[in-house]
Amino acid sequence: MLETVLENGTGTAVSQCALKFKPNHMGVAPENATVSYPNIGPGSSGSAPIALVCVPGTASADPLDKLVGALRDNTTGAVLFFDVPLKLEYFFREGSPMDRNAFITAFRNIPTTSELSATVKGLPSANFEDAARKLQAINVYYIDKRAAADDQTDVFFSGVLDTGLEVLIHTTWKTGFAACKLAIRVASLEYAQTLWNSIERVLKA
């Protein structure tokens, strides 16, 4: 759901607008091409929620982190172009955790050149179980953990975007430190940075 606020800078009232998004990676489109606002007089503003759907087959090479749209007043024909942030944490499919062996196979089949890794600092908790609960809330599921050197723990997660892209996540935690190493491995490297930013937001929330 996209909440919109429209300020009427024209000389006539606005109530019905046509909405269209430029083709985007996630295939996001309005459920209804017409947006109904309360009658907005000149110099006034009004709001309306817009239901969104993901339409398979409409993905494009446009930026992953924003939606570009156009809103046209059906009365005057005036057009407003706009963009809004696109947060990938809202686009993971609900499902069930990947089988551990399947995760290992998938992880090995994606080259390390398709991995983005960096440290997430300033986490609200040093407990990876808190992170697991946050990730599960967005349909990113815990797979397994293993002890690592220097009193560290490797924890693995996976999720699937609405586009069908598998996202494999490797985190490393050290006891007593409210930080973790976050590695994102995906077959399509162009998704890696935006996905990394999305998971970082979830972990730091």
pTM attached to this predicted model: 0.84
Q: Which residues pair with 160 in a beta bridge?
A: 166
Spatial separation of the C-alpha atoms in residues 199 and 170, rounded to whole Å: 11
pLDDT score for 59? 62
Cα dist from 186 to 10, 111, 167, whole Å: 46, 9, 5
Based on C-alpha coordinates, what's the Rg of the chain? Answer: 21
pLDDT of residue 57: 64
Whether domain 100-204 has CATH 3.20.20.70: the reply is no
Q: Is 169 within 8 Å of 155 (Cβ atoms)?
A: no
**pLDDT for 54-88, tens place per residue?**
887 666 656 788 889 999 999 999 999 999 888 99
pLDDT of residue 58: 62
Residue 23's pLDDT is 86
User: What parts of the chain have a pLDDT lower than 50?
Assistant: none
Q: CA 6 to CA 64: how far, in whole Å?
A: 25
Sign of the dihedral defined by the CA atoms of residues 89, 92, 96, 97, in that order: negative
Residue 180 · residue 128 · CB < 8 Å: yes
Whether the CB-CB separation of 166 and 160 falls below 8 Å is answered with yes
- Which sequence spans correspond to the domains of the chain? 2-86, 100-204
Beta pairing, strands 166-174 & 45-50: unpaired
Q: For the structural domain made of 2-86, what CATH number should be given? A: 2.60.40.1150
The alpha-helical segments, DSSP class H, found in the chain are 100-109, 128-136, 192-204
Residue 1 confidence (pLDDT): 84
Tens of pLDDT along 109-134?
999 889 999 999 999 999 999 999 99
